[in-house]
Amino acid sequence: MSKTAEYLNLSTSIDANFQSSLTAADALELLKAGNQRFLSQAPNARERSALLEGAAKGQAPYAAVLGCIDSRAPIEEIFDAQIGDLFVARVAGNTVNGDILGSIEYACKYAGSKLVLVLGHSSCGAVKGAYAALKDGNLTGLLERIEPAVAPVREANGDNPSDEAIDTCVANNVRLVCDRIKQESDILAGLAADGSIAIVGGVYNVATGEVDFTVYS
Ligand SMILES: [Zn+2]
């Protein structure tokens, strides 16, 4: 039986036994299958009371997802995830700082998650703000972290970017964040190097609901 089939047969939240049976590739398959259920409007129905009963015993999420705060990209929903399935960190532009890295380190090293997904999305306002070099309050520092992803695209496309140019920036940003996770976290780089986890990048399309998982692997 595939891990997705096993997952769909669970009656309660996932536990450490199920989590420890997964590889990083299995965790990625679970996310892909979840996005397909979301797209086909065939959600996994589990009793809320059973999920809460399982959750009360502890957590063993299979993946950690770093997404944007954008209201159109709700992480659990687009992966048809249940209580206890995912660690989710959300910050404008799905970028990293020490707190986000520490959170993902906790998820993978101490709580056993097998996969880190950095998820950008189409029409990202943070990426557009970085492209426009917006400077305002605490946004200034946040958007500066996205600047390396937009600078070469701005150089080539000028001040009025097409949707395609912004898409390029979004994908660049996802790749940059994946690289930075490895560069700035010895813990996560080590787990990725020995195959305990994988760090992958995707982009969610806010118009179609589909996740493109081919952005970084
Ligand atoms: Zn965004």
pLDDT in tens, 21-36: 999 999 999 999 999 9
- Interval between CA 11 and ligand 1 midpoint (Å): 34
- Across the range 143-172, mean pLDDT stands at 97
Dihedrals φ, ψ of 107, to 5°?
A: -55, -45
Read off the pLDDT band of 45 (50, 70, 90): confident
- The single-letter DSSP state of residue 106 is I
**Looking at the chain, how many residues does it have?**
217
CATH 3.40.1050.10 fits 3-216, yes or no: yes
Q: Is 204 helix (H, G, I), strand (E, B) or coil?
A: strand
- Interval between CA 70 and ligand 1 midpoint (Å): 5
CA distance 42 to 60: 24
- Across the range 104-110, mean pLDDT stands at 98
- Interval between CA 145 and ligand 1 midpoint (Å): 14
- Interval between CA 217 and ligand 1 midpoint (Å): 21
Query: Both tokens of residue 170?
Result: 């979004």
The answer on pLDDT for 17 being more than 90 is yes
pLDDT at 54: 95
Q: What is the pTM of this model?
A: 0.97
- Interval between CA 129 and ligand 1 midpoint (Å): 10
Query: Both tokens of residue 38?
Result: 């979301």
Query: To the nearest whole number, what is the mean pLDDT of the chain?
Result: 97
Read off the pLDDT band of 59 (50, 70, 90): very high
- Across the range 97-101, mean pLDDT stands at 97
The answer on pLDDT for 1 being more than 90 is no
- Interval between CA 121 and ligand 1 midpoint (Å): 6
**Per-residue pLDDT tens digits for 66-79:** 999 999 999 999 99
The answer on pLDDT for 109 being more than 90 is yes
- Interval between CA 34 and ligand 1 midpoint (Å): 21
Query: Both tokens of residue 18?
Result: 């199920």
The answer on pLDDT for 200 being more than 90 is yes
